[in-house]
A and B are shown apart, each in its own frame.
Chain A
C-alpha cells in the first residue's frame, strides 16, 4: 500500500514541476520586436553589493540605448530595443553555469553580458561556449579568461600581471629613492583573485627591486587581523598591498588603529573603494590608496552625467560603474556593425574590433577577443578620490602617511 501511494505522490509532484517548467519554457514570437540580451548577475549572496551596482550600470546603459530608439539591425531594416534579462548566479562559481543554462534555454537569449566575478564568468562562459552563444565579459582578469581559449567569449578588463605592477610603478615614479618603501607586506585573500594577484606582486617586486618581507594570506571569512598586524609591527613593515573584501577592509584598518600601527603606504584592491569605508574611517581614510576601473574624470562622453545619476541612485559615487555601462554600449555598436544579432556575426565584429567613444574611452579587442583597460589607483584625501595611477603630475602627487 505504502509503496504505490508513495509512487503516486512522486508522480504527482513530478507532474506539477514539469507543468510549471514546460509551460514556461519560453515561447518565441514569430516577429522579432526586441533583442534579447541575458546577463548572469550576483543578485543574492556574498557579492550582492557590487552585483547591484553592476546591474545598475547595465540597466542605465540599456535604458539610454533604447531611449535613442534602440539598435539598428540592418538585416531586418529596423531599429530594435534591447531587452535585458537577469539570472541570479547566487554569487557562487557554479551558479554562473546554471544562470547561463537558464538564460539560453528558457529565456532564449540572443546574446549575453557577464556577471562581475572571474570564476563565475568562466563557468558561465563555458556554458555559452557549449551552445555557441556570444558572451561579452567585463570585470574578469583577461589572463584567466585567455587560459580558457574561449571561441565565443570576449573580455574587457585588466590582467593580474599588469594590475599588480601599479604600486611599484607609483613608487618609482613619484617618490625620491630614500622615501620608497623598503619592507613590503602582502595581505591577500586566499581565493583565485588573491592567489593570482599575490604572484603578480611578487614577480613585479623582484623586477623593480623591492623587498617583500611578509606574505601571509588570510582565509576568506577571516574576521580578525590582529595576528597579521602584529607581524607587520614586528617586521617594521612600511607598505601593505592587500586584496580584501570591503567589510573586512574596514575591520583591518580599525584593528591597525587599535594596535597602534601606522603604515606609510597602504594600497587595497576590492576593499577600500567603498564610500562606507571612507565614512567608517573618517579622517583615517586619508593616504589610503584604493583601486578603480573607471573615473568620471577620465573624460568619456556622458561620464559626468552617469556619475551624477549613480550618486542619485546609491547615495555615493562609483569607481567602477563606467565599465558596466560600457559593456552594453559595445555590444550595441557591434550589433549595428554586424547588421544582425546572430552570435557568430556579433562576435566577429568584437574579436579584433575597435570601439571608440564608449564610457571606457576607446576600446580595442585583440584577435582572441581580449581588451585591456588599465587599473586605476586613487588616493583618499578629505573624502575625495585623487588619481595616483596613471600618474597625473598636474592633478595630484602621492602622499605618504607620516609615521
Chain B
C-alpha cells in the first residue's frame, strides 16, 4: 500500500480512525464506571448498547422522532433501567468477595438479551435512515461523516458530563471515593449499594448514548453487541481500567490502530494487531497509557 501514500490520505486515515474509535470509547466509559465501583467487567454492555439502538430505532420508526432528539427519552430510560437491573440482579452479588458471580450474571443477561432482541425485532438488519445519514463534510478534500462527528461530540459531552458529575456532586464524589477504596468509603458512611447503583445506572445511561450513536451510524443486528463489548474491553485496558478519560482515549487509540492496520496490512490481520498492541500495553504499562494524566487533572 505504500505506493499510494499521500499526505491527504494519512490525514484521512487518522480522521477515520479517531471517528471510528469514539464508538469504542463511549462503550468503554460505561464499562470503566461499572468496573470502578463493582470491580467487574460488565460483558453485557455491548448487548445493552444494541438494545438501546433498537429502542432508538423504535422511537424513530414508530413515532418519527429524530434519533438525536430521542436521547431525551433514551437517557432517562436507560438510567432507570440501570437502577432496576442493579437492584434486581446485582445487589446481592456486588457485595460478595467472588466477582465471578456478578460477571456470570452479566453473561446470563447477555444471552437473554441477545435472544430477546431476536424475538422482538427478528434477526434481520435494522437501520435508521435520515436525511443526514451518509452525509459528509469535505473540508480540504478530507471526508468527515456527519453522523460520526456527532458521535464524537456525544462522546466528548458525555465524558465531560460524567467528569463533572464525579467531581462536583456529592454522590459523584462518593462514587469516586468508592472507586478508589470501597472499604474506607463505607467506613466514612457511604452506602455501597447507593454508589454501585448510581455508577451502574450511569454505565447503562452511557450505553443509551452509545446506542443512539451506533444506530445513527451503523445498521445493526442482535449479535452486533458482543464484538463491541470485546473492543470496549480492549480500549479500557489500553486507556487504563477505571479511568473515564483514559477509556475514551483508549477507544480512540484502538480505532486508530485498526484503521492503520487494515490499511497497511491485509484486513484479516487487524484484529490480531490490535490484540497484540493491547498485550504489549498490558505488559509494559498495565495501569494503562493515559492514567497519569487523569490523576493530574
Contacts and interface: CB of A to CB of B under 8 A. Distances in A.
Q: Find out whether A and B make contact in their complex, taking CB atoms under 8 A apart as touching.
A: yes
B189 interface: no
B268 A247 contact: no
A370 interface: no
A190 B227 CA distance: 16
B70 interface: no
B84 interface: no
Given A224-B259, A227-B260, A230-B263, A259 B125 contact: no
B4 A274 contact: no
Nearest to A221: B227
B118 to A, nearest CB: 6
Contact of B268 (A218, A227, A280): A218
Contacts of B159: none
Interface stretch (B86-94, B97-105, B127-135, B164-172): B127-135
A224 B129 contact: no
Given A45-B223, A279-B129, A234 B9 contact: yes
B157 interface: no
Contacts of B263: 227, 230-231
A276 B143 CA distance: 26
A217 interface: yes
Interface in B239-293: 255, 258-260, 262-263, 266-271
A247 B221 contact: yes
B295 interface: no
B136 A260 contact: yes
Contacts of B127: 250, 276, 279-280
Contact of B219 (A51, A52, A280): A280
Nearest to A226: B16
Interface string A254-275: 1101111000000000000010
Contacts of A254: 133-134, 219
Nearest to B145: A258
B123 A52 contact: yes
Nearest to B19: A226
A35 to B, nearest CB: 30
A49 interface: yes
A227 B273 CA distance: 15
Contacts of B158: none
Contact of A48 (B123, B227, B266): B123
A247 B215 CA distance: 12
Contacts of B134: 254, 257-258, 284
B219 A230 contact: no
B260 A276 contact: no
Contacts, number: 123
B9 A230 contact: yes
B136 A282 contact: no
Interface string A212-233: 0001111101111011101100
Interface size class on chain B is: 35 or more
Contacts of A227: 13, 16, 258-260, 262-263, 267
B35 interface: no
Contact of A190 (B124, B224, B255, B268): B268
A284 B133 CA distance: 12
A235 interface: yes
Contacts of A223: 218, 224, 227-228
A66 interface: no
A46 B125 CA distance: 11
Nearest to A42: B123
Nearest to A275: B124
A18 interface: no
B115 A247 contact: no
A369 interface: no
A228 B267 contact: yes
A49 B122 contact: yes
Contacts of B200: none
A246 interface: yes
B1 interface: yes
B30 to A, nearest CB: 18
A52 B121 CA distance: 13
A46 B13 contact: no
B133 A44 contact: no
Contact of A222 (B124, B129, B255, B270): B270
A319 interface: no
Contacts of A235: 4
Contacts of B222: 48
B126 interface: yes
B150 interface: no
A251 B16 contact: no
B42 interface: no
B51 interface: no
Residue from the set A44, A222, A247 with the largest chain B CB neighbour count within 10 Å: A247
Contacts of B136: 257-260
Given A219-B269, A223-B227, A254-B134, 9 more contacts: A51-B123, A224-B20, A226-B20, A227-B16, A230-B9, A231-B263, A247-B221, A274-B125, A282-B129
Ranked nearest first, the 4 interchain pairs of A and B with the lowest CB-CB distance are: A234-B4, A48-B123, A226-B16, A227-B263
28 contacts: A46-B223, A48-B123, A48-B222, A49-B122, A51-B123, A52-B122, A190-B268, A216-B262, A216-B266, A217-B268, A222-B270, A227-B16, A227-B260, A230-B12, A230-B13, A231-B4, A231-B263, A234-B4, A234-B9, A246-B125, A247-B125, A247-B221, A247-B224, A251-B218, A257-B134, A258-B145, A258-B148, A276-B124
Interface of B: 1, 4, 6, 9, 12-13, 16, 20, 115, 118, 122-127, 129, 133-136, 138, 143, 145, 148, 218-224, 227-228, 255, 258-260, 262-263, 266-271
